[in-house]
Amino acid sequence: MKLSVCACAIGIALGSLSGGMSIAQESVEDFYRGRTMKLTVGSAAGSGFTLYARILARYMPQHVPGSPAMVIENLPGASGLRHMDHLVTVAAKDGSVIGLLNPSVTTAPLMTPESAKHTSEKLAWIGSANSEVSTCHVYPHAKVQSAEDLRTRELVFGGSGAAGSSGIGAQLLKSMFGFKFRIVSGYQGSADIMLAGARGEVDGACILLSSALKAQYWSNFQRGEFSVILQMPPGNHPDLKGVANATDFATTEEQRQALEFVNGFWAYGRPFAAPAQIPVDRLAALRVGFKATLEDQGFLTEANKVGLDVAYMDPDEIERRVKAIERTPKAVVDKVLALIPASK
């Protein structure tokens, strides 16, 4: 009965897929049986992205026909663009490799076309595991009490690259609202920047996501080892009541649109995808298996133990949100790009 339900669900999923993909001759179950899948992650091993990947890799195989094994490969660098390039150009296209991407890669072709080699059209979405809230945080040695202080105190903020979400987000705040950041790029990711802050190398960063805050740094936060002073669109996190949102500083609709353009991708905060050439039946099976994993009580219990928020978003909704961001008025996009100089 369980196999019949799965086959039916995959059939429905197949019906919703667009043309251009082929159905493999080998059955999905035969393909995955005895196989080891690779789940690539576009951030460092200590990141919040990797924590999601590790838990998912323990539960998803039992929801994929043939019950393949699943191993993780970290490919950090260039705020996820290195991973995106690997998934599109190097990774196997047969359904044996899927990726957990930094969602900022979906807007990188508009933000930094000189760095972004590929658009999201080269991906086949599987689903997202949560929605994120991006934050800015500071360390006690920065002597910052509130977001208003960002306009008066000169601070060194860490970033993972001028083309990445951390660098672009901080540059936008600096340029649009007069925040006195000096951004030092080149860190591998949030874990690297958090260590730099603890060592006193940087005063803060606009890189810490709500899931990583809760799962990895909540006790540090509660002990006062750093403070969260600003949240970004598309919303506020319920556990950060009283913390200002960047939209509070916006005085025009154009500024609000700019903030949404730069940060809106966090609505699909943990997006999983395969290369677009994946056979359609295998993609359908992975989509069904991914959704079932996020509903698996064992997965949910383990995620809850480490403080991970879980909220399924289906592939069509991810695509809709990506297209909405791409429809940002050109005048807003041009002004955002003009506000963001080369890394300084």
* Residue indicated by tokens 């698996």: 296
Instruction: Please state the domain extents for the chain.
Output: 2-130+269-313, 134-264
Q: Please say whether the beta carbons of 310 and 129 come within 8 A.
A: yes
For domain 2-130+269-313, give the CATH number.
Answer: 3.40.190.150
Structure confidence at residue 307 (pLDDT): 87
Structure confidence at residue 22 (pLDDT): 54
pLDDT bin (cut points 50, 70, 90) of residue 344 is: very low
Between CA 217 and CA 243 the distance in angstroms is 17
Between CA 110 and CA 341 the distance in angstroms is 15
Pick the range with the lowest mean pLDDT from 70-74, 79-83, 166-170, 290-294.
166-170
Query: What are the residues whose beta carbons fall under 8 Å from the beta carbon of 190, sequence distance 6 or more?
Result: 43, 47, 48, 160, 166, 205, 207, 208, 209, 212
**Selection from 129, 122, 212, 121 nearest residue 166 by Cα:** 212
Structure confidence at residue 1 (pLDDT): 43
**Selection from 77, 61, 60 nearest residue 69 by Cα:** 61
* Percentage of the chain modeled with pLDDT above 70: 89
For residue range 117-139, list pLDDT tens digits in order. Answer: 899 999 999 999 999 999 999 99
Query: What are the residues whose beta carbons fall under 8 Å from the beta carbon of 27, sequence distance 6 or more?
Result: 65
Rg of the chain over Cα atoms, rounded to whole angstroms, equals 20
pTM score of the predicted model: 0.78
Structure confidence at residue 17 (pLDDT): 52
Same-fold call for 2-130+269-313 versus 134-264: yes
The arrangement of secondary structure in 134-264, i.e. its CATH architecture, is: 3-Layer(aba) Sandwich (3.40)
